[in-house]
Structure 1
Amino acid sequence: MSDSDKYPKKIFISLNELLKMEHLSRGFSFLASKQKVRSILGGKHASKLRGRGLDFEEVRNYVPGDDIRNIDWKVTARTQKTHSRVFSEEKEKPALIVVDQSKSMFFGSKNKTKSVVAAELAALAAFKVLKEGDRVGGIVFADNGIDIIYPKRDRKNILRFLEKIVTRNRELKESTPVEFESALSETLNKIKNIVTHDFLIVLISDFHRYRPEVVKFITRISQHNDVILAKVFDPMEQNIPDKKFIAGAQGKQLSIDGHDQKIRQDFKTEFDDQFEKFKEEMKKHGIPVLSVDTINETDVQLKQLFKRV
């Protein structure tokens, strides 16, 4: 049996499909200096993004138009002439891409599974960061373990990251959700060990099983780093079909009567309310939340998000 038969496209991801993302990783940027006003990272979020950070260069005479916040008052007082501090942008802004390949991601009702979309997002982000000249690494976490690729400015490093994603993705065929919480806790500890400050952290997941302490961790780490969240969802998670069907989760099966309009409305309301609550909580800390579905092309959605109001 060939890989294409054993791991059907759009249900599982392949390395070749992820490598195609390299040519599609344009039309968006994670850098603050390159955000458009209409971008999802524009406005308040752009002020939260720190760019690559600043290095002090020199003190020189004040020039009209200089930011008054950069006036060096000590030198000004000593020389009796207004002086400004000059900064230059640091040469890099390392990135860490964290991608969820746990069992809850192994679902898709029409086009792709959430795990495939998450893998594509991770590849798009990794190639884009490398194109902008920064170090990039990643963490792949699943129910039965995690993989860590430390940030490097190296295309081979991205290939190793993508290979780990493919391996974990294909494990979903046989795996059962047994150790998700411990894997997640270990992942968070690893992030703390890798990330210092002024990192870009892109966290890709469906955010189904995140506990309050995980939300606290996200907000805490955003104090000294840029954090972008990408929520992957399937439309059926929001709008159940108008028919009877069996839904399975964590080894359990549940019969749902989609003919009941109240059940459908309650289902949608719960999904919308939970997502809005999550976004509002993140908004308080200036953390943007991108929403990407399993129906439309992943790269097209990403570029639209970076252009919309």
Structure 2
Amino acid sequence: MDLPFPLAEEWAAHLARDRRRSEHTVRAYRATAVRLLRFLGEHWGGVVTREALGGVSAADLRAFLAWRRTDGLGNASAARELSAVRGFLAFAGADAPRLRGPKVAKGVPRPVVPADVLALAGEVADEASAPWIGARDWAVLLLLYGAGLRIGEAMALTASVLPLGETLTVTGKRAKTRVVPLLPQVRTAIDDYVAQVPWRLERDAALFRGARGGALSAGVVRSAVQRARAGLGLGERTTPHALRHSFATHLLGRGADLRALQELLGHASLSSTQVYTSVDAAHLLDVYRNAHPRA
């Protein structure tokens, strides 16, 4: 249980009360603080106090990140974890040691791994100017990745889709409609946004609203992603549309049928969907080269 870490609870309360961070951000940052305190307790062999945190070294943080890597963290997720750690140490009155964040190697663009999708969405939500905007951005990005929507399709959704069910009817190119499944996590994210948005959501009006109450612009989402990816060390091709590509590639990698994927993506022809077979093959080749002793 996480209860033996009162300092993490204090930080979570500070983020919610004084910094007005979103519920998602508070939950994620609290979890980071708990992980750090638990790790340092085992690493140092004792209870970690506020005073003890003043002695955290760069080697300690490198060891913490290496431990987190065992959970499959990508570079973007590791960078976000390090950012949260720095914030927590500052709250505790400790100076975080200088430590260069992980860098992403340049090369052929690859799908964004699931952990880095969450890191990107979380970073965008953290930088929002209000909690409800953070909840909105988190919901939009999870929708793009979790359901494979084009950003224009997400912006075109109206409040008539509420209340949400297990599927969502989407209008794509050439006014073609399709039905996509909604993961529970995506439904929860949208419901959280709907509960916080300060504007009345009329059935025939936009579901996702801008800061002044009008329909949210795709450009606002793209700009937020651009700022967040820089802080996480992600490449310039990590865009909202890249989340749709990642959705497709990850489904194909887990055995999805091309025809079913075509329907989920709303492609007019199978040839548009077949591009993902080469993307997935390239990813598998990367895995082979990195893992095989004679590659």
Task: Answer yes or no: same fold by TM over 0.5.
Answer: no
Q: More helix per residue: 1 or 2? A: 2
Q: More strand per residue: 1 or 2? A: 1
TM-score by length of 2: 0.28
Higher CA-based Rg: 1
Q: Which of structures 1 and 2 has the larger relative contact order (alpha carbons within 8 angstroms, sep 6+)? A: 1
TM-score by length of 1: 0.27
